[in-house]
Amino acid sequence: MASGEATLRVPVPDDEPQRLEAIRRYDVLDTPPDGAFDRITAVAAAHFEVPIAIVSIVDEDRIWFKSHHGIEVDEIGRDPGLCASAILQNDPWIVENAATDPRTLANPLVAGELGLRFYAGAPLVTHDGFKLGTLCVIDVAPRELPAQEAATLADMAAIVMDELELRLAARRAIAEEHRLRHQAETLARSLQTSLLPPEVPTVEGLELDSLYVPAVGHEVGGDFYDAFEVGGANDGTLVLAVGDVSGKGPKAAAVTALGRHTVRSASLSATAPSEVLQTVNRAMLLGRKEAELEHFCTLLLAFARRDTDGLSVSVASAGHPPALVLRADGSATQIGASGPPAGWRPDFSLRDDRVQLSPGDLLLLYTDGLTDVRTPEGLLGSGGLLRRLQDARPRTAAGLVAQLRELLDSPEVTARDDAAALALEVVR
Amino acid sequence: MQQGFHVDRIATDDEIRLALRGELDVSVVDAVEEAVGAVASGSRVVMDVRDLSFIDSSGIRVLMSLDMRARSEGWSVAIEQPQPAVRQVLELCRIGERIPIVDDASSDG
């Protein structure tokens, strides 16, 4: 049993600022009544056979009741000092007869209308040692509390504290869940933005059109295309890229984003498309373990520059199907001898192929989703696509893309993968 | 989508022979990697593809990752008798520069 001075002024705990901080952390003050705490005070009152049981939180200038059984008061001033005294020690603070106890005889709760005689309060101690308040039982008649019963009161206070910890943990888990969800959504949005088919630019003297058809029922596809004009050292160069990353899912999506961004940045200074593909290969091999092949990327890249005769195009390919050239006169060729796919091996030799396009000529870059399609005659293949387009003889970039769309939409044709394509027309 | 892909595994002392039949695409790559399984150092893995009618980029990925495993674990891989459609894709990806492509004259595959 604690000894004390007969005074209304109860000293504040040494760690008061931190203690108040802990109360804020548990965010319990001025919250609505809660069944769990009301059940504990009801059980405490019944067990100790007292009229009043309270879960109190000792705030800076008041004592707020989270639960009050047998008394219709929500809070009292901190000064009378019963609960404020109880939080100064680790064991239950007990006054068996307040009318004669020098610590409390002048207390207004004792001398006043309530006529409090018996008070026993066990501190609510957080896991890190702060005493937030008490579970206290009160009677208007003096009584004794054996040590065993004081221990029971301390156990009940621990149950109150468990409830508070549980609520704090739940609140933190929800906050963490919200934070993670927000983070994931932000990441998904930025990945999606970088994977979505871009708008093709408007370039004078050229018409550009594109096609992107994700495979039905698949995740974000591995096919991508990009078309952009370069400033700086390569001023006036139009860069066309079509690629295919093996596999699906977030890792493949990250490889796709890496490929596209590397193409964009490397194209600023490279003198030929093969140089850009070398950089992409290095970027993809960076940090990879020797025997690990998670994803690789096939990529077809074209640099196009206007000249007096039309358009000068150089093409390099990393394991990608060649580009198709459809001439105004109806002839057709493939261009872009292939090197190995990017992201497989460090020795990576590539060649740049050149082709001169005249007004009325078309250039098509595509992924194998357009040729790995089942037709009544078997797999279409790149030869099949070439013949089909030669027969159809599209005159414009839009007409060429329309042909491809018609192919994929045909009920006789079964596509098995994503398909992407970029079509370019040299305007007459 | 997959039409009757099948893989047979015949293992002898120093050789694992995988006979692939049908179309090798993303839906069956796990089955192929599983069929390869553990390979002892110094042995040889033969991918017999004479009855393979199609290979897509995920199939190519299986071959490239076999090549990388073989180099790091000290065994070898070979590809036997690809059909023209498969050969075209192998050539596109320059698989032959790292994995020998063998056309066995004793068979008319």
Task: Supply the DSSP string of A65-111, one letter for each residue.
Answer: EEEEES---SEEESTT-HHHHHTTSSSPEEES-TTT-TTTTT-HHHH
> Does B57 sit within 8 Å of A368, measured CB to CB?
yes
Dump the DSSP string for A122-188. EEEE-TTS-EEEEEEEEESS-----HHHHHHHHHHHHHHHHHHHHHHHHHHHHHHHHHHHHHHHHHH
Assign A292 to helix, strand or coil: coil
C-beta atoms of A338 and B98 within 8 A: no
Any domain includes B104: no
Q: Let me know the angle formed at the C-alpha of A52 by A50 and A58, rounded to the nearest 5 degrees.
A: 130
Binary contact (A416, B56; C-beta < 8 A)? yes
Tally the domains of chain B. 1
Which positions in chain B touch A296 (Cβ < 8 Å)? 61, 64
The boundaries of every CATH 3.30.450.40 domain in chain A are 16-172
**CATH number at A16-172:** 3.30.450.40
**Which residue has tokens 């320059």?**
B94
Residues 6+ apart with CB under 8 A from A227: A198, A200, A201, A208, A210, A238, A239, A240, A241, A422
Query: Least CB-CB distance to A372: which of B56, B61, B97?
Result: B56
CATH class, range A196-426: alpha beta
* Shortest Cα distance, chain B CAs vs residue A218, angstroms: 12
Question: Nearest C-alpha of chain A: how many angstroms from B55?
Answer: 9
Please list the pLDDT of chain A residue by residue as tens digits (428 residues). 444 444 456 788 888 999 999 999 998 898 888 889 999 999 999 999 999 999 999 999 899 999 999 999 888 888 767 888 889 989 999 999 998 988 888 787 888 888 899 999 999 999 999 999 999 999 999 999 999 999 999 999 999 999 999 999 998 999 999 988 888 777 766 666 666 677 889 998 999 999 988 776 555 557 889 999 987 666 789 999 999 987 766 777 778 888 888 999 999 889 999 999 999 999 888 867 655 666 789 999 999 999 888 999 999 999 999 999 999 999 999 999 889 999 888 888 899 999 999 999 999 999 999 998 889 988 898 889 999 999 999 999 999 999 999 999 998 888 878 899 999 999 98
Asked if the Cβ–Cβ distance from A341 to B73 is below 8 Å, we say no
Do the domain assignments include residue B105?
A: no
Among all residues of chain A, which has the CA nearest to that of B65?
A: A293
What is the C-alpha R_g of chain B?
13
Q: Could you tell me which of A305, A148, A181 has the C-alpha nearest to residue A234?
A: A305
Is residue B58 in some structural domain? yes
Choose among B25, B54, B92: nearest Cβ to A321: B92
CA-CA distance, A364 to A426, in Å (whole number)? Answer: 12
3-state SS class at A204 = coil
Share of chain B above pLDDT 90, in %: 61
Domain with residue B74: its CATH number is 3.30.750.24
ipTM at complex level: 0.78
Best probe of the A interface among B94, B97, B98, B99, by most A CBs < 10 A, is B94
End-to-end CA distance of chain A: 103
Mutate to test the interface with B, among A219, A372, A375 (most CBs of B within 10 A): A372
Contacts of A329 (CB under 8 A, 6+ apart): none
Please judge whether B58 and A319 are an interchain contact, meaning their C-beta atoms are less than 8 angstroms apart: no
CA pair distance A111, A282, nearest whole angstrom: 85
Q: What is the pLDDT of residues B53-80, one digit of tens each?
A: 999 888 898 899 899 899 989 999 999 9
Of B10 and A106, the one with more pLDDT:
B10
Structural domain includes residue B66:
yes
Write down the pLDDT at residue B109.
39
User: Which residue on chain B is closest to A288 by alpha carbon?
Assistant: B68
pLDDT at A351: 93
- B8 token code pair: 């047979």
* pLDDT score for A319: 92
Tell me, yes or no, whether B13 lies in a domain: yes
**pLDDT value of residue A77:** 84
Bridging pattern class, strands B44-55 and B15-24: parallel
Please, where in chain A does CATH 3.60.40.10 lie?
196-426
Residue B109 lies in a domain: no
C-alpha to C-alpha distance for A233 and B2, rounded to whole angstroms: 49
Total CB pairs under 8 A between chain A and B: 62
The pLDDT of residue B105 is 52
CA-CA distance, B28 to B84, in Å (whole number)?
21
Per-residue confidence (pLDDT) for residue A232, from 0 to 100: 66
Scored b (16 or more CB within 10 A) or e, A80-110 reads bbbbbbbbbeeebbbbbbbeebebbeebebb
H helix runs in chain B, sequence order: 29-36, 57-73, 84-92
Task: Give, to the nearest 10 degrees, the angle between helix A147-195 and helix A16-26.
Answer: 60
Contact residues, chain A, for B1 at CB < 8 Å: 414, 416
- What angle, rounded to 10 degrees, do the helices at A35-48 and A147-195 form? 170
In this structure, is residue B51 part of a structural domain? yes
Find out whether A336 and A323 touch, Cβ atoms under 8 Å.
Answer: yes
Inter-chain touch A344–B57, beta carbons under 8 Å: no
Classify residue A129 as exposed, middle or buried by CB count within 10 Å of its CB (0-12, 13-18, 19+): exposed
Residue B48 structural domain: 6-99
3 state DSSP class of B78: strand
Q: Is A184 exposed, middle or buried (0-12, 13-18, 19+ CB in 10 A)?
A: exposed
Strand, helix or coil for residue A64: strand
